[in-house]
Structure 1
Amino acid sequence: MQTPKSNRSYHIDGAQKTALRSSSDSVSSSLHQTTRTEKDKSPKIIERRSPRGRVNEKRSSELSDLEAYIAQLQEELKKAKDQASSSEIQKRQAQQEVEEGKRQISVISAELKETNKQLIEISSSEDDRLQELCQISQERDKAWESELEAVRKQHSLDVGALSSAMHEIQKLKKQLEMVSESEAVQAKRAEIAEGEVRKLQFELGETLTLVERLEADVRQCRESEVQAQKLLSESQRMLNTVNGSTYMIQSASSLSLKSEQSENYKAANDQITHEDKEDINQLHEEISHLQLEASRMRAALDAAEVRYQEEYIQSTLQIRSAYELVEVAKSESRMRQAELEAELEKVKSNMEELQAKQKNENEKPRLSDKENVWASELKKARASLADTKASLLEKENLLQAIAEEQEKLKLELQKSENEKAKAIKEAAAALADAEKVCESKVTHLAQEADGNSRRVAQVMEQLEAAQAASTEMEVELRRLKVQCDQWRKAAEAAAVMLTAESGKYMERSESLDSSYQTIGGHLGSPYSDDDMDDVTSKKKNGSMLQKIGVLWKKSNSNKQM
């Protein structure tokens, strides 16, 4: 979107260059007649052009490096996405394995039921013996009742433990859902960060274009400075020629030519100073615009860094809280598992005691019907204990599977977080490097602009000094013109007086000849009149010579000054 603006700026700069060249050509053509000999003696100024090809090659290499770095980041993002998809596939496989374990557990429970049925059948064959044993064990009925009550209490405790274990498993499932939601939130935040990075890259491209425009403007300013230096050299040469020609002025025609040349030189200097001022103002405006762009980029980078830090802190806090919850759930599940194992050991010990008692009582005679009832209750208790054992085994397997899944999720989360943090750090480092490069370029351009402004100020001072010298020369030329007019008038007056004196001398000679021929009594009067005329003429001639001498001394003193 910014290419037409740059074309317009280049077009305007080209027009300014042509105007400067035309003005310099007009000034040089107007002064060509008077300064031909000095131009032949003056050294030629060699134009130096900045190597634009190397700068363009460096920029192209930098752009290619940035594009390669962006492609590398995109490949890393694709790899992270592939890893996330593979982790999801592993999760599905783990779920399928859990379902297969459940099916196997159901098959094992069915087999256990069949074994229990077989045990019941075997025990039915032994009922006769048990009846005999019941008669002997009437004395131990109270002990049996107490033991059964204890078993019932343990069974109720086992049921409560199972319910609490199921509740804990539900809590763990909820925590896993929260962890998955936090992963989705982190993925969204990573996408937002990627969008911000793309925006910053686009803004960096814009800043680079602005820097290129500024470099072009700086080159144009350098060219204008070279032209101004050329004009200064020409003006100095013209001043030297004018200073040399002031001593050679002898006529009014040469004075008029010099005055016209000084007026043309003054107009050219005014035009050059006006164009230089416009270039300086344009440079200052562009530098201020660049400074604003740099400040805006710095503010955007600071805001992005603050957002990234806040999001990183929030994600770390959420992950830590999830880890803490998982650890708490693990510790609670381990405690409950230990308690259940202790209870199972107690139940096993009770069962072993009951089995030993049964073996001892099998040797005794048959028991009564009451003892048969107690035996059936014992069988039921055995079956319930077997069921509890199976359910506990299932829950232990589930807890182990959940723990393994949690560990896998932890590892995957850590990997993804490390990769995201690494990518974001690399992007931030790249942005910081680009910002430093932009800042260095801006500072370099600002220094160059300051140097150009100083040079332009020096050029302006030199132009002002040249203008002052030209005004002084104009005043001196006018004064010399006035002096020449005075000298001309004095010369004309002297010529008139000399012609008049020559006529008087002729008349005097004629009168002397006539007086020698006349009578001696008439000799006194003409000599007295002529003597008076001679005295007055000598006085006038002396006064005129004094005036001419004073004017000559003034002209010599002005030449020495």
Structure 2
Amino acid sequence: MVERPYLLSCSSGSIEAVKARPYPSSNTLPQKDSLCSVFTSCTPQKQETPQKGTPHALQQPKTIATDSTFAYSPIQSNRNPKERSPKVAERRSPRSPASERKRSSRVSELESQVSQLQEDLKKTKDKLTSAKSWKKQAQQEAEDAQKHINALCLKLEASQQQIIAHSCSNETNEDNQHTELSRNQKLTWESDLASAREEIENLKLEIEMVIRSEAEQKNYAESTNIQLQNLKGNLTETLTLVENMKVELQDCKEKEARAKGIVNETLQQLEVAKATVESLRSEHMKASEAYNSVVSELEQSKTRVKQLERLVSKLKDHFSLNLKEQKMQVHHDCGEANELEKVKSLEDLKSPCELMERMKPNSSCQKEAELVMKLKRAEARIEELGVNLIDKETDLQGIVEENERLKLKLENNLSFERESKLEQELKRLMKELSDLKACSVNKEMELHSVLEENQCLKLEIEKRNENANKSNGQLDAAREAMLKVSILMEEVEKSKSRANRVAEQLEAVQASGAEMEGELRRLKVQSDQWRKAAEAAVAMLSLGTNKEFMDRKGSYDRCYNPGKMGSPYGDDGDDDLMKKKNGNVLKKFGGLWKKPQK
């Protein structure tokens, strides 16, 4: 019994079809699939599915929140809290594999429903062909009965002629004494002949009625053949629609594969960008460390310069005191010659000290200049790295936004196209089912009328046979005709047995029609149950997705710590919760599906 749909079409439906469907569906379910989806598509219709004339002359499902769950993006984890934009935090993550599995399962349901509807169509076709064969047999039997009636009429005419000839011979051979008796016999014979002629006329009228009924039956058979041809045309159209739906499903699958490839490429690009960002950050850290080391070296060099300056000042004081003391001693102890020599030696001592003093500031200035150059280079490098970081972060934001837009567009286009197609197919299938029901009812009424006419004809034939038997019993001279009439009666009984067989066959056809009505009612009940189950599942899924979104949002706000930037893929608790919730939803959906038919 019937996706799509459609698909649920068929299921996907969509009951999908089935197709879904949709199912579909599906069907879902189109006409093969639409009957399958009628019922979707089943196209359950699928769904699908289903999507489904579809047994979804069901109410259109309410708008459902997308099954995509909000995930903590790795880009946000690596950024500082000041750099995060509120738009990026509100973006949606790509669809989870669970939602894709649900859609694929809905499409498969719609397709199964579409296949079931196709089987039901085949059964109805077989029943129609059997009814046609029964009608042909009934027509043939009616023709045989007409032939027998014509033969009986001819035999009756021959018997009447024999009776007339016999009466004439009896009149010539009889004596004048029996003239009165002969006259009485003639009167009786004439009355019998008149009654026989009336019966013959009545039989002719009945034959005309039978001919008219045959013509009407032929016209009815032609009309039924035309209707069957129209149904065949509709079936071919439904088959073409099913093929088109299959081609569209393949195109959708190819598009999904392409979209997945694009997503994978973008993910790879994001990973490369993350690696570059990390390398830039490491370079920035190294540059900052080098800058700090250079600053520390400068401070150390400054401290050394100060220490050297202090030493130089001390040495100057010490040398000046020594010179004064030596001069005083030279004036007192030695002569002028010795004083000159000492003065020269002191000047020689002054020159290396001065050289030392000159060398020290020169070396300190060179070191300071080199350190300043290194600092400038490090600052320029740091500025370049910062600019590169900003550019790459903007590029990453643009790529992420484009990916999210593409994903949303793909998801919306695929979901709306499948659901609309499965729903249209279900509507078509429902219309076809209603037409088939009306045709079956009309055919049953016509069969009832034909049976009643046959019964009336049988009663009239029996009455006439009784009258003929009475008239033949009164005629002693027409015993031979009575024998012939008995033979004719046997043939009439055979025709009656045939008529009874025809009546039994017609009753069997009526029983098959009643079974068809029961099957159609069951299909209606099943379509209603599938619709209710689909609506309940949709409501449960929408509630589950909303709760998951709120839970995840709270968990991300708790887990986010700007001091410790961890990987976004380390938490497996959300995946476990998703699995548990999906399992509960599937159990509830299975319970609704397994409810017994009323």
Structure of greater relative contact order (alpha carbons < 8 Å, 6+ residues apart): 1
TM bucket (normalised to shorter chain) is: 0.3 to 0.5
Larger radius of gyration: 1
Q: Which protein has the bigger helix share? A: 1
Q: Under a length normalisation based on structure 1, what TM-score does the superposition of the two structures give?
A: 0.43
Q: Under a length normalisation based on structure 2, what TM-score does the superposition of the two structures give?
A: 0.41
